[in-house]
């Protein structure tokens, strides 16, 4: 598969093995994993870092293998899913940083192109999340709105 904004092909990543079964060496039960995930999410940790913390600190290779549900579903069941998904929020943060850079350096044309590409990526991702009802139907990207949402 090729990359979005370049004519090159990307490096293939590794894939998890097909059977999603709880490994024998995982000692935590489903309730303990859920409780730990909820506790971390209530502390303001994004979902990706919750999964990483469970993997690195508690030895849980996959929340789905232990609980039978994806981490996002576990957080949604406990009303901890953020209003704006983490990947969209990260893109908005990057856009705000680039906008500030371009205010200080208006002739930086390569970064101006990067900003345009990132904004198109945000619009594409927002369309995806609107279709899946993860963000409100009337949510639209705007440069001023991004700065307000990030701060």
Q: What is the pLDDT of residues 30-75, one digit of tens each?
A: 999 999 999 999 998 988 899 999 999 999 999 999 999 999 999 9
**DSSP sequence for 76-128:** HHTT---SS-HHHHHHHHHHHHHHHHHHH-TT-HHHHHHHHHHHHHHHHHHHH
8 A C-beta contact, residue 65 and residue 23: yes
Q: Decide yes or no: CATH 1.10.260.40 for domain 86-150.
A: no
pLDDT at 120 over 70: yes
Quote the percentage of the chain above a pLDDT of 70: 99
Q: pLDDT band at residue 1, thresholds of 50, 70 and 90?
A: low
Write down the domain spans for the chain. 30-77, 86-150
Stretch 97-109: mean pLDDT: 96
Higher pLDDT, 31 or 3: 31
Compute φ and ψ for 36, nearest 5 degrees. Answer: -70, -40
- Predicted structure pTM score: 0.80
Q: Is the pLDDT assigned to residue 77 strictly greater than 80?
A: yes
Tokens of 35: 């409780």
Lowest-confidence region among 6-15, 87-96, 139-148: 6-15
Q: Which helix (H) or strand (E) holds 48?
A: helix 47-58
């Amino acid at each position: 598969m090729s990359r979005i904004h370049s004519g090159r092909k990307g490096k293939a990543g590794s894939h998890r093995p097909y059977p999603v079964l709880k490994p024998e060496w995982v000692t935590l039960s489903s309730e303990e994993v859920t409780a730990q995930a909820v506790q971390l999410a209530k502390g303001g940790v994004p979902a990706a870092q919750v999964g990483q913390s469970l993997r690195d600190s508690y030895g849980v290779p996959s929340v789905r293998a232990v609980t039978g549900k994806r981490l996002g579903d576990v957080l949604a069941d406990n009303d901890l899913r953020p209003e704006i998904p983490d990947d969209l929020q990260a893109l908005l943060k990057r856009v705000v940083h680039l906008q500030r850079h371009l205010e200080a350096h208006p002739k930086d044309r390569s970064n101006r192109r990067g900003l345009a590409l990132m904004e198109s990526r945000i619009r594409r991702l927002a369309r995806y999340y609107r279709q899946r009802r993860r963000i409100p139907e009337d949510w639209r990207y705007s440069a001023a709105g991004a700065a307000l949402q990030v701060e």
